Amino acid sequence: MPTKRQKAWESLAPWEQAAMWAKVDPAYGQRVLDQMEIKERHLRRMDWVHHLANSFCGLVALGLVVWLTKYFVDQDHATQGASVFIASGTIIGIFVTKKLTNRRPPSPPADPSQPSIADMETAP
């Protein structure tokens, strides 16, 4: 159960909380910004790793499809090879178009109860 002091702290605006932390520890704001920067750098790196892993898996899958199609053609089963190639091309096309259309969800609308940047700049 929150105490009166915790409720009072939570009722303060973020810039008021930051000002109080700055009185206690002047380097607090810079440390918070440094941590946010480290987190953003990590997220960018993980996005690249995710992209490279997806690209590698896609190329491996494409290679397997081509190999399987060539195997069927070499065994004089061209219709089976064509059906494997067309079906896998359709599935790959569905995944690619879904990925292109669903890149990122739209950002939520701004909450009118929260102060705007202009309000923060004019705050004491």
Q: Is the dihedral of CA 61, 66, 67, 68 positive or negative?
A: positive
What is the residue extent of each domain of the chain? 12-101
The pLDDT confidence band at residue 9, using thresholds 50, 70 and 90, is confident
Evaluate if residue 5 carries a pLDDT over 60: yes
pLDDT tens-digit readout, 32-81: 889 999 999 999 999 999 888 888 888 888 888 889 888 988 998 888 88
Q: What is the spatial distance between Cα 22 and Cα 3, in angstroms, rounded to a whole number?
A: 23
